């Protein structure tokens, strides 16, 4: 995060704008809307836009050239002139007095920058690109304007009326949070949006009277995080990620996805890596039960899809045995997501009419798979967690009837900026993968559909040097 987004209370505070043009007028307007008093330093005539603001007694013009004395008593400063030397002088004088200062459109000489603003007071949303792409910020703002009705301000005002009563009714922060999440996701919001505010207030009063201050059993959200790209999350997954009190996550959850969870939620790492299970599965199951019994909403965040090699079935069996409510949110599994981003269709009329998903975990140095079933023609085989056993995998498939020339691919960290795809055949893939120094998580695809990769490959990531997955145990385990 390059900048810390904050909101300043400027009601009744003195702020300084240097420059009497239209740009300065726009900054002065923002300050006035925030309740500030504005002093404008401009030796000449004010622009038409600025002159219109002088009808209020909260705008004062100082008809003089800028000098450092003008900063006395100011809480915040804008430099909005067309003179670069003067703007820099304002910046240096303000910083010498430890005042926040913004030189318009010059982020390199700013102690703070201005975002694009969506005003639904008392709800205010700010969007910033850190000064790198202001047009992009404005485009995002325009998109958000369409998604956030003006009535959100009235909804926030209604919540403010009940703030004291809710605080008295619910002594804990957790209790208050749960009540408001339930209330604001209820028909109360739609009542406000449609202008039925008295009805909304009455309904909210009823909800508060009917609610209990006692903490009951919580709930577990078993949510698939997909193959790694945050853009592939479902809307429902995002909503539950923002509601959970505790996040229980594993190694295959990428940091960008973990960062999308509620920031004040507790986090519980239960990751597994090959041959080293940090927390045994039975213990994970009971952790979920214990946290839910404490009244918490528990997000069990799993890489890929919870019901495809994710042991989600085992976890909800335990939850049901202990009477813990749960929800399951499916996700784009690695087979579908990674293959798509690698330009490899898993089925194709000219290549494969069947798809088989298997796990390639080695046990006692061997792979216990139904090789005769896997090695039939006109099907695609996807192997999860097979990087360590790649040599044996290819050898067994050839031994059970697949030609050594059968196309095969292995994809590292598919769907992310660190995606790397290596294609070859059953004869060549082990050596090519070793040469590429692939690291988990990886996915192996075998079948003639792999031959379409070169033609259909569309995703060409350009990873940044620092764009890596960091977890408590270095990197995610193989998929």
- Binding residues for NAD(+), as ranges, are 22-23, 43-44
Instruction: Give the separation between CA 5 and CA 395, rounded to whole angstroms.
Output: 56
Q: Are 384 and 479 in contact (CB under 8 A)?
A: yes
* Other residues' Cβ atoms within 10 Å of the Cβ of residue 209: 9
Instruction: Give the separation between CA 350 and CA 353, rounded to whole angstroms.
Output: 8
Looking up tokens 């240097």 gives 18
Instruction: Report angle CA 68, 30, 45 to the nearest 5 degrees.
Output: 55
Q: Are 445 and 412 in contact (CB under 8 A)?
A: no
The helix (run of H) or strand (run of E) holding residue 382 is strand 380-384
The helix (run of H) or strand (run of E) holding residue 153 is helix 152-161
Residue 168 annotated in active site: no
Name the active-site residue from 272, 296, 302, 420.
272
Nearest CA to 334 out of 241, 412, 446, 274 is that of 412
Numbered residues of the known binding site for S-adenosyl-L-methionine: 227, 303-305, 308, 333-334, 385, 414
Name the active-site residue from 250, 296, 302, 420.
250
The order of strands in the sheet holding 326-329 is: 266-269, 246-249, 297-302, 219-224, 326-329
Numbered residues of the known binding site: 22-23, 43-44, 227, 303-305, 308, 333-334, 385, 414
Nearest CA to 5 out of 124, 90, 155, 121 is that of 124
Residue 231 annotated in active site: no
Q: What token pair was written down for 479? A: 């998929």
Give the start-end residues of each E strand in 115-245.
Answer: 116-120, 123-127, 219-224
Q: For residues 345, 346, 351 and 353, what is the CA-based torsion angle, rounded to 10 degrees?
A: -140
Q: Are 148 and 120 in contact (CB under 8 A)?
A: yes
Looking at the annotation, which residues are catalytic?
A: 250, 272
């Amino acid at each position: 995060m390059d900048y810390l987004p904050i909101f300043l209370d400027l009601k009744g505070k003195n702020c300084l704008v240097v420059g009497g043009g239209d740009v300065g007028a726009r900054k002065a307007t923002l300050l006035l809307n925030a309740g500030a008093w504005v002093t404008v330093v401009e030796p000449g005539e004010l622009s038409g836009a600025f002159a219109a603001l002088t009808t209020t007694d909260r705008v004062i013009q100082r008809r003089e050239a800028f000098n450092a004395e003008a900063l006395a008593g100011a809480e915040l400063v804008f430099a909005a002139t067309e003179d670069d030397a003067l703007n820099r002088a304002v910046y240096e004088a303000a910083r010498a007095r430890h005042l926040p200062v913004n030189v318009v459109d010059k982020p390199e000489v700013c102690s703070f920058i201005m975002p694009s603003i969506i005003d639904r007071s008392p709800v205010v949303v700010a969007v910033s690109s850190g000064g790198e792409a202001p047009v992009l910020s404005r485009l995002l703002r325009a998109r958000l304007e369409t998604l956030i009705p003006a009535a959100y301000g009235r909804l926030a005002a209604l919540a403010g009326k009940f703030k004291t009563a809710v605080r008295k009714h619910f002594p804990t922060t957790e209790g208050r949070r749960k009540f408001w999440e339930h209330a604001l996701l209820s028909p109360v919001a739609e009542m406000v949006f449609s202008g039925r505010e008295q009805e909304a207030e009455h309904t909210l009063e009823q909800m508060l009277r009917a609610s209990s201050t006692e903490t009951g059993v919580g709930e577990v959200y078993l949510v698939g995080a997909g193959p790694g790209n945050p853009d592939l999350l479902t809307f429902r997954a995002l909503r539950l990620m923002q509601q959970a009190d505790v996040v229980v996550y594993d190694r295959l959850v990428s940091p960008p996805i973990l960062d999308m969870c509620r920031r004040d939620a507790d986090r519980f790492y239960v990751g597994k890596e090959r041959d080293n299970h940090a927390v045994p599965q039975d213990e994970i199951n009971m952790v979920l039960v214990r946290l839910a019994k404490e009244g918490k909403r528990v997000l069990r965040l799993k890489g890929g899809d919870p019901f495809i090699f994710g042991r989600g079935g085992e976890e909800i069996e335990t939850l049901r045995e202990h009477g813990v409510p749960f929800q399951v949110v499916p996700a784009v599994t690695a087979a579908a997501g990674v293959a798509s981003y690698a330009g490899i269709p898993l089925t194709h009329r000219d290549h494969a009419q069947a798809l088989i998903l298997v796990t390639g975990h080695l046990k006692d140095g061997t792979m216990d798979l139904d090789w005769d079933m896997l090695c039939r023609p006109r099907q695609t085989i996807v192997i999860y967690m097979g990087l360590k056993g790649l040599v044996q995998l290819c050898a067994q498939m050839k031994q059970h009837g697949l030609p050594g020339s059968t196309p095969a691919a292995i994809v590292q960290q598919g769907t992310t900026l660190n995606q790397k795809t290596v294609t070859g055949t059953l004869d060549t893939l082990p050596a090519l993968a070793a040469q590429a120094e692939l690291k988990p998580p990886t996915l192996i695809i075998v079948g003639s559909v792999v031959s379409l990769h070169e033609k259909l490959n569309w995703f060409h990531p350009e990873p940044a040097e620092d764009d890596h997955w960091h977890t408590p145990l270095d990197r995610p385990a193989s998929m």
